[in-house]
Amino acid sequence: MRNVNVYPINKIPELYFLGRDVSDAEKKSFRTLFWNGSGFEVHFKGRELWALIEGGFETLEPWLVVFLNGRINSRQMITKGKQWICLARGFDDSYETDIRVMKDSQPMADDPEHFIKIHKLALTKGGSFSKLPEHKMKIEFVGDSITTGEGLAGAVDDMAWIGCHMSFCKTYAYQTAEKLDADFRVVSQGGFGIVSAWNNNPYYVIPPEYENVCSIPKGKLYEKLGGYQKYDFSKWKSDFVIINLGTNDRGGFYFEPWTDPDTGKVYKMNLDENGKPCASDGAKITEGTKKFLYVVRKNNPAAKIIWATGMMYIPEVMGFIYEGISQFKNETGDKNVFTLEFDSMDCETNEEDKGSRQHPGPKTHRLAAEKLSMVIRSLYSTEKV
C-alpha cells in the first residue's frame, strides 16, 4: 500500500454511513457496523482505495460485501483484529467511482464478541472524494431471518447455521431499496419473533430491542460500543417502515417447550385438541402485534407502515397478526398502516425458490421486492399528489 493518503473515518465529510449508529458517532475515530446492511458509501477519484477494518468474534464471524458502481465486487469473511483491505485498485482516476461497503451478516445474538469496525480509508495521492446525491426516500426494514437473508448464500442442502449462509444484499429488502433509490435501515435477527422465538424462547423477540441502537447481542462489548443506547429516530426520519415478523411465532407452536435456565420456567406456544393454535396463545400474538405498532408509530410519526407476511407459509398465525393490526387501527384511527402478503416459496417444483436451511431463495426474494416496490411507489406517489 504505497503512494496513498490515510484519512480517519470521521475526517471524510463526503462519506455517507448506512445503518443505525450511536448518537455521538461523528465524534468517534471509528464506526461500528451494528446491523446487516450497515456500512458506508462514497464517490472517489483515484486508482486505489483501501479500508482499515477491525473484526471480532468468538464463534460466528462477520461477513462484508463490497459494491463497485452498483455491482458486487467481493464478499469476504472478516477475521479477528485490524486489517487493511483493498476495496478498489487500477481504476481510471479521471472519473468518479462509487463504492459501497456493507455488513452482509446480521448481529449475532449467540455471539456477543461479533463485530465490525471501520477505522480509516486510504486513497491514492492526488485522489479525491465527492459528495453523494441524496436518495429519493428512506425505508426501515424490521424482520427476522428472511430480512437477514438467511439461506441466500448457501447451497440448497447446506444446513449449518453460520454467517456465510446469510446475505442481506440478496434480500427482498435490499432489492426494494435499490429499485426505489432509497436509503435504508435494518433491524433483523434470525429466529426472533413478535412474542416468541422459533424455539419458544420469549426473550428472543424484536419489539423490546427496536428502540435501542443494537442491543440483541448481550454483554459488555455491545454496551461499551453504545448498542444499548436509545436510538435517535429524529436524525433519520423514515418515509416507510416495513415489518416482516411472525414466521418464528408460528414455529413455536410446533417446537418443543423452552425452559428458562435462570428461573426454570417453561414456555410453549400450544396447539388445541384440533391441532390448531390455542386461542389464548394466538391472542398473545395479536396483543404483541398491536403493542409493537404503537411503538413503531411513536418513533416514526410520519411514516407509512406496511406489515408484510408470507415468503414462508404461516397461515396459522396470519389471522392473529391481522387482528392486532385491525385493533391498532380501530383504537388510533391511523390510516397509514397497511398489510401486504408476499408469495410463499415453492419448494416442491422450483429449485430457484429454495435457499439453504429451508429458507426462501432468489426467486422468492425477487418477486417480493417487485411486489413491495410497486406498493411503495403507489403509496408514495399518492402522498405527493
Task: Note down pLDDT in tens along the chain; length 385 residues.
Answer: 789 999 999 999 999 999 999 988 888 889 999 999 999 999 999 999 999 999 999 999 999 999 999 999 999 999 999 999 999 999 888 889 999 999 999 999 999 999 999 999 999 999 999 999 999 999 999 999 999 999 898 888 887 877 788 899 999 999 999 999 999 999 999 999 999 999 999 999 999 999 999 999 999 999 999 999 999 999 999 999 999 999 999 999 999 999 999 999 999 999 999 999 999 999 999 999 999 999 999 999 999 999 999 888 788 899 999 999 999 999 999 999 999 999 887 655 566 788 878 888 899 999 999 999 999 999 987 655 3
Q: Which three cell numbers stand for residue 141?
A: 426494514
Q: Where are the beta strands (DSSP E) in 178-279?
A: 182-188, 240-244, 258-259, 266-267
The Cα 297–Cα 290 span in angstroms is: 11
8 A C-beta contact, residue 188 and residue 141: yes
CB neighbour list of residue 193: distance below 8 Å, 6 or more residues apart = 144, 204, 205, 206, 245, 246, 247, 248, 249, 251, 252
CB neighbour list of residue 113: distance below 8 Å, 6 or more residues apart = 56, 57, 58, 219, 221
The Cα 10–Cα 30 span in angstroms is: 7
Q: In degrees rounded to 5, what are phi and psi of residue 125?
A: -55, 135
Looking at residue 354, what is its pLDDT? 82
Looking at residue 383, what is its pLDDT? 59
8 A C-beta contact, residue 312 and residue 279: no
Q: Where are the beta strands (DSSP E) in 104-201?
A: 115-124, 128-130, 137-143, 182-188
Residue positions counted in the chain: 385
**Nearest Cα residue to 180 out of 114, 136, 217, 210:** 136
